[in-house]
Amino acid sequence: MSARLRYEVRRTLGAPVEAVWLVLGDFGTEHRWTKSVSRCVRNTELVKVGTRRTCKLPRPLMGRTEVTEDITEYTPRVALSYVLDGPAGPFSTAGSKWSIAPASMNSTVLTVEGIFTPRSWLSEFVVWPLAKPFLRRLTHRVIGELEHFLVAVP
């Protein structure tokens, strides 16, 4: 069994790095720009490694209606990583890394990587081939919501 299962989604957004980071770096306010969470709160005023957010989900996902995530990496205007507190359905761990880099003066390359540890061989060889395309589609949709929010906000 492999140690980690991964997927990656990359997209160029029509907004400069500063504008993208202003939204992404405000960990715990995602409910302002995505439909994938209905409400988020964080445990610190300033965002940094160790900051924790708890988000209510509008629909259950991998057996959860609420998720709590902790920041493991926070490099302003570069990257934000976080891990889920506890398991996610058939995965013993789940995490994401959002990285940004300038594509031009007014556009940004956003890369989202999902990282999962399977609980068993069944999770890796039966569930993952079904979960991976679903997670990639969900990530594409969330990135689209982020871009729409960035364009709509002056």
The 10s digit of each residue's pLDDT in 101-110 is 999 999 999 9
* Average per-residue pLDDT for the chain: 95
CATH value of 5-152 in 3.40.50.970, 3.30.530.20, 1.10.443.10, 3.40.1160.10: 3.30.530.20
Close Cβ partners of 127 (under 8 Å, ≥ 6 residues apart)? 89, 90, 118
Nearest CA to 54 out of 65, 66, 64, 63 is that of: 66
Domain extents in the chain = 5-152
pLDDT at 3 over 80: no
Q: What is the C-alpha to C-alpha distance for residues 69 and 55, in angstroms, rounded to an integer?
A: 8
Report yes or no on whether pTM surpasses 0.85: yes
pLDDT at 123 over 90: yes
Q: What is the C-alpha to C-alpha distance for residues 114 and 136, in angstroms, rounded to an integer?
A: 9
The 10s digit of each residue's pLDDT in 74-95 is 999 999 999 999 998 899 999 9
**Sign of the four-CA dihedral 116, 120, 125, 129:** negative
